[in-house]
Homo-oligomer: A and B are copies of this chain.
């Protein structure tokens, strides 16, 4: 966590440092991000930086925390999804709201993307923790099974794992090509195939 000295800083200075960190972390993976770049871009001295943060990991955690806080807004918006919508519709809606977020905050989104492109132990641990709350979907599938809308023999875990993998892969592609339409198409098509494979008819 940042030092108390940092907390006491003027808002605009804190923001300058945060922005510089976001800039660096959205262009380089954690391992390759350079504190030198950050301090230069933020317009502070090297010594100051180390008075605010213990090291690069500390800074990274701070940035992630701030982003998570801002993300709350999105999460809140996600909550008022039609509770009567079925699993597939719910997934679709959540997917779209994540996509909207990615497009409205491309730098934040790139940071999360770059987490997948780093093999340091630190980031690996983070990946596991922040893995996203896919548990929600697992429970939703179980409910649908009880309601008879999904075949009862279906393993909810594997469906969630599939969606997770597809989500990650399609988003990564989108990150490079930048075609929103293709991303949405892929999501729709793959979801329909899965639906065909597990829905009770």
Contact = CB atoms under 8 A, between A and B. Distances in A.
How many copies of this protein are present in the complex?
2
Contact of A196 (B162, B190, B196): B196
B194 A193 contact: yes
Contact of A195 (B28, B154, B159, B197): B197
Given A193-B198, A197-B194, A119 B119 contact: no
16 contacts: A32-B119, A124-B176, A154-B193, A155-B189, A158-B186, A158-B189, A161-B170, A161-B186, A162-B166, A165-B169, A165-B170, A193-B197, A194-B197, A196-B196, A196-B197, A197-B198
Nearest to A154: B193
A64 interface: no
A198 B196 CA distance: 7
A71 interface: no
A162 B193 contact: yes
Interface in A144-201: 154-155, 158-159, 161-162, 164-166, 168-170, 176, 186, 189-190, 192-198
Interface residues of A, number: 33
Contacts of A196: 196-198
Contacts of A194: 193-194, 197
A28 B116 CA distance: 15
A114 interface: yes
A168 B168 CA distance: 11
A192 B197 contact: yes
Contacts of A170: 161, 165
A169 B159 contact: no
A97 interface: no
Given A28-B119, A161-B169, 12 more contacts: A32-B119, A116-B117, A117-B117, A161-B186, A165-B168, A165-B170, A166-B166, A168-B169, A169-B169, A193-B194, A194-B194, A196-B197
